[in-house]
């Protein structure tokens, strides 16, 4: 069963606008971590933001924030004030505590920022 679902293969956003990238996950663990990574066309994977399952506040890192809704098992990434350099693939990932499971990735969303 797929643990991470990113339903938007591609998204477009106007420069300076905000955009939300969707991520839902599936786990029976109570303790887990959620991550977002950015992969530009150059290929590297860049860590953006982390949210722990017990964190009460939504995580924020600069222009990135994570809209965490535990009951709905969703962890959407919000990028505010989009820039042309934000054009990239974005991956949602989860790591469960039990069973020493690795970081599992979704299939990604390709974001294109338009001038």
**Residue 99 structure tokens:** 């069973």
Residue 90 in contact with other proteins, rule: CB under 8 A: no
**Residue 21 CA from chain centroid, whole number:** 7
Task: Yes or no: say if 4 and 10 are a contact pair by the CB < 8 Å rule.
Answer: no
Q: How far is the CB of 17 from other proteins (least distance, A)?
A: 27
Query: Which CB atom, from 46 or from 114, has the smaller least distance to other proteins?
Result: 46
Residue 105 in contact with other proteins, rule: CB under 8 A: yes
Residue 95 in contact with other proteins, rule: CB under 8 A: yes
Interaction residues for other proteins, span 44-63 (CB under 8 A): 44-47, 50, 52
Residue 12 in contact with other proteins, rule: CB under 8 A: no
Residue 43 in contact with other proteins, rule: CB under 8 A: yes
Task: Yes or no: say if 93 and 35 are a contact pair by the CB < 8 Å rule.
Answer: yes
Burial letters 8-21, b for 16+ CB under 10 A, else e: eeeeebeeeeebeb
| Beta bridge mates, 5 | 24
Polymer length in residues for the chain: 115
Binding site for other proteins (CB under 8 A): 31-33, 35, 37, 42-47, 50, 52, 91, 95-97, 100-108
């Amino acid at each position: 069963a797929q643990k991470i679902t990113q339903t938007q293969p591609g998204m477009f956003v106007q420069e300076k606008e905000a955009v939300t990238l969707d991520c839902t996950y599936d786990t029976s663990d109570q303790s887990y971590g959620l991550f977002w990574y950015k992969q530009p066309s150059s290929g590297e994977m860049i860590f953006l933001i982390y949210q722990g399952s017990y964190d009460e506040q939504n995580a924020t890192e600069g222009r990135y924030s994570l809209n965490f809704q535990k009951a709905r098992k969703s962890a959407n990434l919000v990028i505010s004030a989009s820039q042309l350099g934000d054009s990239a693939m974005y991956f949602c990932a989860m790591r469960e505590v039990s069973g020493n499971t690795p970081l599992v990735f979704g299939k990604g969303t390709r974001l294109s920022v338009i001038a």
